[in-house]
Structure 1
Amino acid sequence: MAGRPAPTARRVRLATELRKLREKAGMTASEAAASIGTSSGQLSNVETARFGVSPERVRAMARAYSATDGALVETLAGMAGDRTKGWWEQYREILPPGLLDLAELEHHALTLRNAYTVHIPGLLQTADHSREVFRQVVPELSPPEVEHRVSHRIKRQEVVYRPDPTPYTAIVHEAALRMKFGGTAVAKGQLNHLLEMTERSHIQVLVIPFDAGAFPGAGQSIGYATGPVPQLDTVHLDQSHGPVYLDAEAQLAKYRILLDRMERAALGPDDSRDFIHSIAKAL
């Protein structure tokens, strides 16, 4: 018998926020279950994302918890009612779940911010550059595995190409611009692509040059996705074992500050573009 599919990060986030509402109301699971006419076991299954929940039940839970943030409640109800499957589901049995969760997170974000020290952001990579990055993975990926990851990465980029593109800010260190993944030809193609992307009004690329010296967040690969309401913002950190997702209020505040300070350490958009052009021209 096939096991129940693991819940997506979006469903887990919905469950987490419902639990937070209950805890904020000072109610035990037993009290909450009784107030909405269900059992403690069923409520536990909802709060741990083992079971889904309907928009009507979300609203009933919010009323029982005396939740007054209407925007948050309606956003959570919308998440509960959204049963559509995105393009990333075709990779469900092929790629690690964390990569699918990242595509889903980016798809629903209102704005995106990334900061990278030694890599070009995935949303701005060419297929050739991306392929060389995945060829360096340890343990080594097979050629089909590499191609699956490349195609997934390129499809993620629809958020900056679609008719209603997501506003995107990428903070990139000079080190990433000078890494020659795939050799000179691939590196030059990647830098030229980066320059083309800066011509899009919704994309801002900011370069931190070596001359900027030390800066907060150096060495980290940070992503920040803005949700429909501030409580649903999400940070994702690239790790060797896959993306890590953070959503606690203190964590969100910390990474907003880090990204703000990294932006202040970077050149402005026009100077950044000139800087990228100078590196590309020298190749």
Structure 2
Amino acid sequence: MAPRSNPTARQQRLGAELRKLREAAGLSTEQAASLLATNRTVITSTEAGRHGISPERVRRMAYNYDCTDQELVDALAGMGADRTKGWWEDFRDVLPPTFLDIAELEWFARDLRMSTMAHIPGPFQTEPYARALFQAAIPSLPDDEFEARVSHRTQRRKALDRPGAPTYTAIIHEAALRIEVGGRRVLREQLDHILELTGRANIVVRAIPFSAGAFPGSGQAFLYAHAEVPSLDTVQLDRTNVAEFLHVGAQLRKFSLQLDQMERIALSESATHDLIRSIAHQL
């Protein structure tokens, strides 16, 4: 196993899942190391995401941990197999790690569902819109980090353009469609861009109108990333300058139910397109 000086969120998640399997089998790190003919340090480093691990090694660990969930084993082995350097790695040591983690999460997701109340979802943002958002930061960002954040934000759309891109369902509150980020012209261009994106087969946009009133999850924006198996799903919550990632089953169920409820009260796709056109026409 080759050491990784900069463990990615995906590698850390793989290590955490392998730790869960070991603990479920009732094995200590010493016992696991003995079964795998290695030493305790390798086990702890792997579980911390500090070492890359081959698919064969993942399968061997799962076998010794008595894991009978073949779909889960296959998904974990796939996580070990992918050593591709993502575009987001160009921003390592330039931006906070959570920026990279979000891009990596979007890239590898099977499907994505997003709810947002005040801003357009990141991968949908035009450069002028993103610039206006980051210009509003207090305190002001240093010039180099400001430009890096704008570039990173606009490049997140690559996840929607790649072969086999995930289906992205964005549930956007009417407030986010009306707040004039960057002014009327910038917002009008942003809304036109969203309408262009909805022409793609893998992008669904639905709006929650003001008339919907209160609903579960209305107080925050969050992203639900579906993995190859449900137990590997992730919810990413937006915080001020920080992203929080949730993996616990009860938390996943909560946010999945909130999204289900939002979809029930949201406008249809065609009615959403009509609303966006109407707002853009008013600008």
C-alpha distance after superposition, 1:219-240 (max 9, x if no partner): 2111011112212111111111
Q: Does 1:188 align with 2:188?
A: yes
Match of 1:226 in 2: 226
C-alpha distance after superposition, 1:121-173 (max 9, x if no partner): 01111111011011112221133322211111111101222343321100000
Q: Secondary structure at the match of 1:220?
A: coil
C-alpha distance after superposition, 1:8-40 (max 9, x if no partner): 110110001001111222222222222212222
Deviant stretches of 4+, over 6 Å? none
How many Å apart are 1:56 and its aligned residue? 2.1
Match of 2:107 in 1: 107
C-alpha distance after superposition, 1:65-123 (max 9, x if no partner): 11111121122122223222111111112111111111111111111111000011011
Q: Secondary structure at the match of 2:101?
A: helix
1:170-185 matches, cutoff 5 A = 170-185=170-185
How many Å apart are 1:254 and its aligned residue? 1.1
1:184 & 1:193 partners in 2: Cα distance?
A: 14
1:80-99 matches, cutoff 5 A = 80-99=80-99
Match of 2:135 in 1: 135
1:1-150 matches, cutoff 5 A = 5-150=5-150
C-alpha distance after superposition, 1:179-199 (max 9, x if no partner): 101111111111111111122
CA pair 180-6 structure 1, distance change in 2 beyond 3 A: same
| Code of the aligned partner of 2:7 | P
Aligned residues: 280
1:77 & 1:163 partners in 2: Cα distance?
A: 21
Q: Secondary structure at the match of 1:188?
A: helix
CA contact (8 A) 2:112 2:168 kept: yes
Match of 1:169 in 2: 169
User: Relative to structure 2, which stretch is displaced further, 74-83 or 112-121?
Assistant: 74-83
2:164 & 2:18 partners in 1: Cα distance?
A: 30
Name the TM-score, length of structure 1 as normaliser.
0.94
2:161 & 2:220 partners in 1: Cα distance?
A: 26
2:278 & 2:268 partners in 1: Cα distance?
A: 15
| Code of the aligned partner of 1:190 | Q
C-alpha distance after superposition, 1:214-265 (max 9, x if no partner): 0000121110111122121111111113211111111111111111111112
| Code of the aligned partner of 1:266 | A
Match of 2:257 in 1: 257
1:78 & 1:240 partners in 2: Cα distance?
A: 33
Q: Does 1:271 align with 2:274?
A: no
Name the TM-score, length of structure 2 as normaliser.
0.94
2:141 & 2:22 partners in 1: Cα distance?
A: 44
Q: Secondary structure at the match of 1:217?
A: coil
2:201 & 2:54 partners in 1: Cα distance?
A: 38
CA contact (8 A) 2:123 2:155 kept: no
Q: Secondary structure at the match of 1:114?
A: strand
Q: Secondary structure at the match of 2:67?
A: coil
CA contact (8 A) 2:5 2:50 kept: no
Match of 2:197 in 1: 197
Q: Secondary structure at the match of 2:270?
A: helix
Q: Secondary structure at the match of 2:79?
A: helix
Q: Secondary structure at the match of 1:177?
A: helix
| Code of the aligned partner of 1:155 | Q
Match of 2:242 in 1: 242
Q: Which runs of 5+ in 1 are unaligned?
A: none
Q: Secondary structure at the match of 1:26?
A: coil
Q: Which runs of 5+ in 2 are unaligned?
A: none
User: Relative to structure 2, which stretch is displaced further, 130-139 or 49-58?
Assistant: 49-58
| Code of the aligned partner of 2:159 | V
% identity of equivalent residues: 50
1:42 & 1:267 partners in 2: Cα distance?
A: 52
